[in-house]
Amino acid sequence: MIMRAPAVLLNIIVAASLSGYAGYVIANKEQQKMLASLRQEHQATLLREQEVRAQLEAALSARAALEQQSQQLQAGLNERLRRLEELAAKLTLPPLPPEENAPVNSAPMPQSDNLPEEGH
């Protein structure tokens, strides 16, 4: 029995060592899977970030183009308004002098009460 005790102890130590190694291998494989998954997710995130940046740049370019077009349209409208105002100034009649503003016939207009009746 004394001889068996070291053999049993050795068996326990070997079994524990093999279990520890097997646990380490399994944990290492799980860690590798998790790292691969994280790398894949990281790559997908980087790709999405590049796509979003490209969309942002396109939107900013479109905004700048629209702003430039808006400024050109505003300048064109301002020029048209200036020309219309010039034309309107040319077409308006100058005000009449004060003596020409008076009525031609200065006699008072007869009122309907003072008119002679017809047929009576």
Is 112 among the domain residues?
no
Token pair for 36: 């691969």
Residue 96 pLDDT greater than 90, yes or no: no
Output the pLDDT for position 4.
81
Host domain of residue 17? 4-88
Neighbours of 62 (CB within 10 A): 10
Is 102 among the domain residues?
no
pTM recorded for the entire structure: 0.48
Is 103 among the domain residues?
no
Residue 83 pLDDT greater than 60, yes or no: yes
Phi, psi of 9 (to 5 degrees): -60, -40
Output the pLDDT for position 54.
98
DSSP string, the chain: -TTHHHHHHHHHHHHHHHHHHHHHHHHHHHHHHHHHHHHHHHHHHHHHHHHHHHHHHHHHHHHHHHHHHHHHHHHHHHHHHHHHHHHHHHHSPPPPPHHHHS-S--SPPPPTTSSPPS--
Is 113 among the domain residues?
no
Is 18 among the domain residues?
yes
* Chain segment 49-78, per-residue pLDDT in tens: 999 999 999 999 999 999 999 999 999 999
Is 48 among the domain residues?
yes
Is 66 among the domain residues?
yes
Confidence of residue 2 (pLDDT cuts 50, 70, 90): low
- The tally of domains found in the chain comes to 1
Is 64 among the domain residues?
yes
